C-alpha cells in the first residue's frame, strides 16, 4: 500500500474535470447562461471538496507511516507470525507499512468478544501476508472483519460449530478468535483460517472492477492464459486429492473455490513441502504472489522432516 492511492489520484483528476462541466451543463438547462455559470461554480466547489477528501486520507497515511513501528508490535509479530520472520528485510519493512495502513483504515469488529491489539495484529497479518509484494494492492473489496468468540453455524449463530471462518463476496470476513490464534501458534500444519478466508477475497476483483460479486476459484487479476493454466493445474491437483496423493488439506477437493483457499494456506504454511510435491502449483502461486516462501525457508536452514 502507498501513502497515496493510484486509484484516488485518477479519480480525483476525473472528478475535477467532470464536475464543473456537469454543473455548468445542468445549470444551462435550468437557467441558460446565468445558470451555467452558477452550476460550473458549484461543480468547482465540489471538486475542491473531493480533492480535500483524498488529500486528507493521504495525509493520514503519511502521518501513520512517519510514526516509528512500535517495538512491541515487532516483537509480537516475530513471536507469532512466522511469515513476517521469514521475509527479506525490504519486504518486512513493507509488511510493517501495509499492516499500519490496514489497521488505520479497515474495520475490525468484535461480536461478543473484545478486540485486543494482539487480535488486530493477527487479522492484519493474515491479509498482509498475502498482499505484501503487491505495492498497489488495497484490499478495497474488504468491508469489515467480524471476530467471533467461538465457532459458529451457517446462520451465524453460536448454536452450531461447523464453521470457524467465512468470507462473503460483498466483503465481510468472519473469523473465530480461537481458530485465528491457533493458526498463528502452529505455522507449519497447512491450516490457517486467516489466510484461507482472505484468499477467498482474492477470488473477487477489487471495487470498481468487473465480476467482483462471486467466487469461482480463479485468482483475480490473472491474464486469460494464466487463468486457463490455473484451472488446469487446480483440476489435476484436486484429482490427486481424491486419490489421497497430495499434501494439501482434503477440504480442497470440495470445489474449485475451496481449492484456491487451501492451496494458499499450504503455500504460506508448508512451502518447502508444497514445492517438492506440487512443483507446478507452487510455481503458479509463487508468480502470482511475487513471493518465494520456500526459498526464504531454505535461507533460514529449514528442511523437510
pLDDT at 67 over 70: yes
Residues pairing with 108 in the sheet: 145
pLDDT at 33 over 80: no
pTM attached to this predicted model: 0.83
**Maximum distance among all alpha carbons in the chain?**
80
Residue from 140, 93, 147, 96 nearest 120 by CA: 147
C-alpha cell at 204: 473477487
C-alpha cell at 118: 494482539
SS3 (DSSP) at 161: coil
Q: What is the 3-state secondary structure (H, E, C) of 247-259?
A: CCCHHHHCCHHHH
Q: How confident is the model at residue 305 (pLDDT cuts 50, 70, 90)?
A: low
Name which residue leads in pLDDT, 106 or 210: 106
> The cell 489497521 sits on which residue?
103
Spatial separation of the C-alpha atoms in residues 42 and 20, rounded to whole Å: 7
pLDDT, position 24: 47
For residue range 166-180, what is the model confidence (pLDDT) as tens digits?
Answer: 999 999 999 999 999
The DSSP code for 79 is H
Residue 153 CB partners (closer than 8 Å, separation 6+): 159, 160, 161, 162, 163
For residue range 110-166, what is the model confidence (pLDDT) as tens digits?
Answer: 999 999 999 999 999 999 999 999 999 999 999 999 999 999 998 888 888 899 999
Decide: residue 2, CB within 10 A, 0-12 exposed, 13-18 middle, 19+ buried: middle
Phi, psi of 133 (to 5 degrees): -90, 5
- Mean pLDDT, the chain, rounded, equals 87
pLDDT at 26 over 80: no
For residue range 253-294, what is the model confidence (pLDDT) as tens digits?
Answer: 999 999 999 999 999 999 999 999 999 999 999 999 999 999
pLDDT at 193 over 60: yes
Amino acid at each position: 500500500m502507498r501513502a497515496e492511492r493510484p486509484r484516488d489520484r485518477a479519480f480525483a483528476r476525473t472528478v475535477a474535470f467532470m464536475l464543473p462541466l456537469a454543473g455548468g451543463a445542468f445549470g444551462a438547462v435550468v437557467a441558460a447562461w446565468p445558470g451555467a455559470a452558477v452550476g460550473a461554480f458549484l461543480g468547482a466547489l465540489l471538486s475542491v471538496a473531493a480533492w480535500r477528501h483524498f488529500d486528507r486520507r493521504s495525509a493520514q497515511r503519511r502521518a501513520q507511516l512517519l510514526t516509528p513501528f512500535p517495538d512491541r508490535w515487532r516483537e509480537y509479530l516475530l513471536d507469532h507470525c512466522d511469515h513476517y520472520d521469514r521475509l527479506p528485510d525490504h519486504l518486512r519493512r513493507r509488511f510493517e507499512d501495509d499492516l499500519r495502513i490496514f489497521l488505520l483504515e479497515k474495520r475490525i469488529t468484535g461480536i461478543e468478544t473484545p478486540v485486543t491489539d494482539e487480535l488486530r495484529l493477527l487479522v492484519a497479518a493474515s491479509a498482509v501476508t498475502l498482499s505484501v509484494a503487491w505495492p498497489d494492492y488495497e484490499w478495497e473489496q474488504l468491508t469489515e472483519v467480524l471476530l467471533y468468540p467461538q465457532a459458529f453455524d451457517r446462520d451465524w449463530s453460536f448454536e452450531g460449530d461447523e464453521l470457524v471462518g467465512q468470507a462473503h463476496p460483498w466483503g465481510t470476513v468472519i473469523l473465530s478468535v480461537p481458530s485465528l490464534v491457533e493458526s498463528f501458534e502452529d505455522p507449519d500444519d497447512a491450516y490457517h483460517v486467516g489466510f484461507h478466508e482472505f484468499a477467498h477475497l482474492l477470488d473477487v476483483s477489487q471495487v470498481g472492477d468487473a465480476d467482483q460479486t462471486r467466487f469461482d476459484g480463479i485468482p483475480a487479476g490473472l491474464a486469460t492464459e494464466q487463468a486457463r493454466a490455473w484451472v488446469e493445474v487446480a483440476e489435476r491437483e484436486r484429482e490427486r486429492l481424491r486419490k489421497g496423493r497430495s499434501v494439501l488439506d482434503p477440504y480442497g477437493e470440495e470445489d474449485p473455490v475451496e481449492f484456491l483457499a487451501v492451496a494458499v494456506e499450504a503455500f504460506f504454511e508448508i512451502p518447502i513441502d508444497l514445492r517438492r510435491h506440487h512443483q507446478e502449483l507452487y510455481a503458479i502461486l509463487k508468480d502470482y504472489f511475487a513471493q518465494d516462501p520456500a526459498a526464504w525457508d531454505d535461507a533460514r536452514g529449514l528442511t523437510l522432516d
